[in-house]
Structure 1
Amino acid sequence: MKIFKHIARILLGVTFIFSGFVKGIDPWGSAYKFTDYFNAMGMEWAVWLAFPLGVFLSFAEFAIGLALFFNVFIRLFSWLAFLFMAFFLPLTLWIAIKNPVTDCGCFGDALVISNWETFYKNVVLMIFAAIVVVYRKNMDWKWFKKPGLVFGIISTVAYFGIVFHSYNHEPIFDFRPYKVGVNIPEAMKIPEDAQREVYENTFYYKNKKTGKVKKFTEENYPWQDTVNWVYENMESKIVQEGFVPPIHDFSIQTPEGEDVVDFFLHDDNYVFMLIAYNLEKSSRKPQEKINNLANWAVEKGFSFIGLTSSLSHESEVFVAETGAPYEFFNCDEITLKTIIRSNPGLMVIKSGTIVGKWHHNDIPTPEEFKEEFVVE
């Protein structure tokens, strides 16, 4: 048990560190996940808490993980880990049963697991946490207390530096489907041998003599017996999920509803996409720089478009107020938030491949773009 208790401590600590780190390097992603939860549970009034809660949760996990891993202040942090798991274990069970969101977000975009997998993972972590809290008094390494504390402080300072950087720029590690280098058309394909969705159909037929409605399966429904039965309705449910490509929800629609995504994905030249999921909340500070880049791009024969989930009249107001020399198209809000973690931000593709993404604090000038991509 002496060795096993330390194995439990280390594995629990590593899991907490990993979970806190991958969420900490993408604070806006954590905020969006909290927003999804609040909206799914009818708690729209709490959306303003999404960002601070995301930062607090990721730091709490990271700090607890460091303390467990380096075995410092173990008596305090073992209890914090236990209470943390005691709260999230029943919560993740509820999420698995009710399924308010399809992905719990416990490991950010770095490792996407189902809600039931999250619950099973938490059962194991709860066991580890219980072992650590029971044996907490016998785990102190007095000889390692000072070095462990130093490592912990250095790691915490570095962690906050990364979080601050990711708040003002794109995350330093991009685990999303739309990372630089991805070819969007390829990422949207479904292989011929991929697993397809499997449905279970239930048929309801009414007996003409008794008037009672009876439930049938695909194997025994009386579709040929029109003398005794009359069809009422059918219900379908998925019993096995099919293959879902990494990118499955990317579309570019005109105000009239026409999908023109293929036109831009198969353009051999650079295509600049100014992404602003909400134009009303979009930062106006970099707009002059964006307009200059747009004018230069058009002069060079490149496409420059805006993608937003805002309504058409909001796009018209934005163009009138900012003098934006480009047309806006519609795209799903969640997709836009996934592509880039700023409002606005810039993505550039060429032949469908993402060649660059920039936070609005890092929008390149024409000269910087020409230098990076060797444009004549």
Structure 2
Amino acid sequence: MNKQGILWLLRLLVGGLFIFSGLIKVNDPVGTAIKLEEYFDVFSNDIASFFYLFKPYALAIAVILVVSEVVLGVMLILGVKLKQTVYAIGAMILFFTFLTFFSAYFNKVTDCGCFGDAIKLTPWESFYKDVVLLIMISFLFFFRDDLPEESPKWAKISSTVVLIGSIGLAIYAIQNLPFIDFRAYKSGVNIQQNMQPSAPLQYTYVMKKGGETVEFDQYPSEEGYEFVEMVLKNPEALPKISDFAAWNEEGDQTEFLFAGNKVVILSSNLAKMDDANLEKMDNLVKSLQGAPVDVVFMAAATQEEIDRVINEQNWSVIGLQADATVVKTIMRANPGIMILKDGVVMNKYHHNNTPEPTEVLDYFL
């Protein structure tokens, strides 16, 4: 293969990966914003305090990043402003490589969110992926003078259409919910089952005796062995959900949520809860009074704060506390609605799409 063929292959590989990664995150820009907030928190504590100033703009930054990934990938493949595109992609992958190295080396953010919730990579896997990308982009950079300088008009028009379309999709996903839900709480999932291993967990017991390391499938009964570590042999069998819990002043209420018909109104931050559709929610809550369903208001807040909101809205509902990360994982809206039947997620709604009471009751017939 000649030089031009190699450069074309690199453009295709790098551009395709950028498009794939970007589209997954355009599907869920709120999830990317949550991940950025994690980084800003860590950076403000470990690097410089001014990173905390970026947190209010995390969603806007997320949209810019995910849309840029898609558009730059398309431009690289179609040959639009190739030299500028290579510079931009190079700068972006340097930024991503720094993030993934920081996550892996310091074990601060254990999931970089490179492919959203669709493909989970360990911090080191994410870093090695970025290193490979960086090497490929470096070849494009060093041979940038051999890249085509002109591109057909249709390619420029296509890139513009992709830009507008990606922005539109990102905004739609923010104002509604992700088009495709890759999370462990998606519709149809039995939360209680996802909290259990999918198969019996198997371990290798690493022991030491006489300076030699020996591995066992079962803990050895023979004396004289020194325990070193226990290694999980089938990590794919681990529970998909490990941190779900709900509670109030009476104690743990997790099992209560898994029993019978539940309409759960979720808020990850009461101070930032959008009140634009509270009237619709109020109608839903009050219309379900007397129906064979428990309405629950679950928030990442103190019980006093939760009870205050319930009293202000004059709702006859059950107030429960939950962890903010769990609520954000379940629901990309603040507030949002989750319909549960015997622990199975029947559907989830952004507050902009608050369902009618009859629609909710249909899930329980």
2:72 & 2:205 partners in 1: Cα distance?
A: 43
2:98 & 2:69 partners in 1: Cα distance?
A: 18
Range with greater deviation from structure 2 (338-347 or 38-47): 38-47
Aligned residue identity for 1:125: L
Range with greater deviation from structure 2 (64-73 or 44-53): 44-53
Aligned to 2:242: 248
1:235 & 1:333 partners in 2: Cα distance?
A: 37
Give the CA deviation at 1:63: 2.1
2:314 & 2:268 partners in 1: Cα distance?
A: 18
Range with greater deviation from structure 2 (20-29 or 113-122): 20-29
Give the CA deviation at 1:200: 7.2
Contact conserved, 2:87 with 2:141, CA < 8 A, in 1? Answer: yes
Counterpart of 1:299 in 2: which secondary structure? Answer: coil
User: Structure 2: 5+ residue runs without aligned partners?
Assistant: 216-222
2:353 to 353, 356, 362: 362
Contact conserved, 1:276 with 1:344, CA < 8 A, in 2? Answer: yes
Give the CA deviation at 1:235: 11
1:272 & 1:121 partners in 2: Cα distance?
A: 41
TM-score (norm 2): 0.85
Aligned to 2:20: 18
2:255 to 262, 269, 288: 262
Contact conserved, 2:71 with 2:163, CA < 8 A, in 1? Answer: yes
2:118 & 2:309 partners in 1: Cα distance?
A: 35
Give the CA deviation at 1:114: 0.8
Counterpart of 2:166 in 1: which secondary structure? Answer: helix
1:95 & 1:199 partners in 2: Cα distance?
A: 28
Aligned to 1:175: 182
1:195 & 1:102 partners in 2: Cα distance?
A: 23
* 1:32 to 2:20 alignment: no
1:18 & 1:184 partners in 2: Cα distance?
A: 29
Contact conserved, 2:63 with 2:167, CA < 8 A, in 1? Answer: no
* 1:191 to 2:184 alignment: no
Range with greater deviation from structure 2 (118-127 or 236-245): 236-245
1:78-227 equivalent positions in 2, closer than 5 A: 78-140=86-148, 142=150, 145-196=152-203
Aligned to 1:324: 315
Aligned residue identity for 1:193: P
Give the CA deviation at 1:5: 1.6
* 1:343 to 2:337 alignment: no
Aligned to 1:333: 324
Contact conserved, 1:291 with 1:325, CA < 8 A, in 2? Answer: no
Quote the RMSD (CA, aligned, Å). 2.8
Distance 1:78 1:254, change over 3 A: same
1:311 & 1:201 partners in 2: Cα distance?
A: 46
2:121 & 2:263 partners in 1: Cα distance?
A: 33
1:115 & 1:276 partners in 2: Cα distance?
A: 29
1:284 & 1:91 partners in 2: Cα distance?
A: 35
Give the CA deviation at 1:188: 1.6
2:105 & 2:146 partners in 1: Cα distance?
A: 38
Give the CA deviation at 1:97: 0.7
Paired-residue identity, %: 29
Contact conserved, 1:255 with 1:330, CA < 8 A, in 2? Answer: no
Distance 1:369 1:240, change over 3 A: closer
Counterpart of 2:265 in 1: which secondary structure? Answer: strand
Contact conserved, 1:92 with 1:118, CA < 8 A, in 2? Answer: yes
TM-score (norm 1): 0.83
State the number of aligned residues. Answer: 345
Give the CA deviation at 1:218: 11
Range with greater deviation from structure 2 (59-68 or 327-336): 59-68
- Max Rg structure: 1
Give the CA deviation at 1:239: 5.8
Aligned residue identity for 2:188: G
Distance 1:238 1:336, change over 3 A: farther
Contact conserved, 2:202 with 2:232, CA < 8 A, in 1? Answer: no
Distance 1:259 1:235, change over 3 A: farther
